[in-house]
Amino acid sequence: MTHILAIDQGTTSSRAIVFDRNLAIRAIAREEFPQHFPAPGHVEHDPGDIWLTVAGTMRQAVEKAGLTGADIAAIGITNQRETTLLWDRRTGQPLHNAIVWQDRSTAQSCARLRDAGHERLVTERTGLILDPYFSATKLAWLLDTLPDARERARRGELAFGTVDSYLVWRLTGGAVHATDATNAARTMLYNIHENRWDEEICGLLDIPLSLLPEVRDCAADFGMVREDLLGRAIPILGIAGDQQAATIGQACFSPGMVKATYGTGCFALLNTGDTPVASRSRLLTTIAYRLDGQTTYALEGSIFIAGAVVQWLRDGLRLIRRAEETQPLSEAANPAERLILVPAFTGLGAPYWKPETRGAIFGLTRASGPAEFARAALESVGYQTRDLMEAMHADWAGSGTPPVLRVDGGLSASDWGMAFLADIIGAPVDRPEVLETTALGAAWLAGQRAGLCPGQEEFARTWALDRRFEPQMAAGERDSRYDQWKAAVAATIAVPFA
């Protein structure tokens, strides 16, 4: 048993990655699954698709590595956060599709809670703001909407979970209903200072505590996987939400270190150590990880659309066939054409938090074409990241030089995109050799719990740089472009769509 299996359940696909004891990748399996948009602003997943792609990729990855279940010492899980599931404890059947983190359908519920004066309580206890992004109002909506759901919940017949908790339930055959501190911290129901479900907030939303999973450390015993899945019962020993897993995989263990992960969205986390920092810039105060009962906190900025803007170019506008085409197109774009794309397809995240806002593009001319659209798409990711870096800098550093930004995720493979990112934030951007940092973090959690992998300090020393992107843009041009971006965002927010 010298290998670790990491399950990386994401927004558009499920992946399984086999790592050896040195945390080198041996095999990867990936399956995409459908996205469901039942109404404008609504985003759902079929729980059956989530489960089948996870179970399938687990088997495929182990087979591709030339291994069997007998070779796997432990399993780690990382997952799309905030996505909300509700299921029957007896049968395991979900009562509804999973409500995805991108879903904005509970914006009015959040507005009513805000108008009633509850946001301060929510922020002080959970570190979050009242926004449909988080699980709490999604769960309340399910309980309000589904026949007899509240009564069944009160009788203890139902279980709530984020994707990690649902997977643990399915993998263990219903033996374990648990989550970890990082996923619990994203529900808007968890007191991050006292590390417990908050009874008062649950009461506001009429959510029975019996619905909620047990909260454990990120490296902990989450039960044994059913023998029929991989041929033997294997322990699940690590769980972290995807962005916290990437923080661990990037070895951002020291206060002041910051990483940004570019997947469907972009999520930047700044390690603040054992101190939860209250943001003055509408960032989130969250749990970075909890190990051996000790909680490490972070400031987080969330961008809802990052890699998804490239997917939109491909699938929505059909301007490209593959994501990789954005690089040569951006290089070929006319420098005189200055398009600014605000990709608020599902609202704006931090630091604006405008769920009702929709996307816009500025500066179009008759000469605007696919190359200019591709460049604007990649630039939009850089601009949004600067929004987060400015807010983090105000909350954490106050003044001085921005820190080095460690990046990962699919979009970080774009040299052009990362070079522009360094230019627009005015700070070095470090891309590691291992871009699968989310799965790596989950694998390390499980591996070190199993006694297979090194401790935190030794693991941090294994982090290796692939390439550093240094800023080349003149400060005046950088600030001028960013001023244009801020004006475009202000104009986009000013146009009501809800």
State residue 194 phi and psi, 5-degree precision.
Answer: -105, 0
Tell me: is residue 431 an annotated ligand-binding position.
no
Tell me: is residue 133 an annotated ligand-binding position.
yes
Q: Which residues of 366-386 are buried (b: 16+ CB within 10 A; e: fewer)?
A: eebebbbbbbbbbbbbbbbbb
Tell me: is residue 290 an annotated ligand-binding position.
no
Is-cis flag, bond preceding 454, omega within 30? no
Q: Tokens 């005046």 identify what position?
A: 476
What is the 3-state composition of the chain as percent helix, strand, coil, each rounded to the nearest 5?
A: 40, 25, 40
Tell me: is residue 279 an annotated ligand-binding position.
no
Q: Tokens 């199993």 identify what position?
A: 450
CA-to-CA dists, residue 465 to 67, 110, 290, 445, angstroms: 30, 42, 26, 21
Question: Where does residue 495 rank: exposed (0-12), middle (13-18), buried (19+ CB within 10 A)?
Answer: exposed
Rounded Cα–Cα distance for residues 327 and 171 (Å) = 40
Please say whether the beta carbons of 46 and 39 come within 8 A.
no
Tell me: is residue 433 an annotated ligand-binding position.
no
Q: Which residues contact 439 (CB under 8 A, 6 or more apart)?
A: 6, 8, 15, 17, 19, 76, 78, 245, 249
Tell me: is residue 13 an annotated ligand-binding position.
yes
- Of 60, 61, 56, 57, the C-alpha closest to 3 is 61
Q: Which residues contact 495 (CB under 8 A, 6 or more apart)?
A: 358, 360
H-helix or E-strand spanning residue 438: helix 437-449
Tell me: is residue 60 an annotated ligand-binding position.
no
Question: Which amino acid is present at 255?
Answer: P
User: For residue 123, how far is the Cα from the chain centroid?
Assistant: 20
Tell me: is residue 12 an annotated ligand-binding position.
yes
Q: Tokens 């593959």 identify what position?
A: 322
Rounded Cα–Cα distance for residues 100 and 29 (Å) = 23
What's the token pair of residue 388? Answer: 């987060």
CA-to-CA dists, residue 34 to 12, 31, 150, 242, 381, angstroms: 7, 10, 29, 20, 24
Tell me: is residue 15 an annotated ligand-binding position.
yes
Q: Which residues contact 461 (CB under 8 A, 6 or more apart)?
A: none
Residue stretches of the annotated binding site for sn-glycerol 3-phosphate: 11, 81-82, 133, 242
Residue stretches of the annotated binding site for glycerol: 81-82, 133, 242-243
Residue stretches of the annotated binding site for ATP: 11-13, 264, 307, 311, 410
Residue stretches of the annotated binding site for ADP: 11, 15, 264, 307, 410
Residue stretches of the annotated binding site: 11-13, 15, 81-82, 133, 242-243, 264, 307, 311, 410
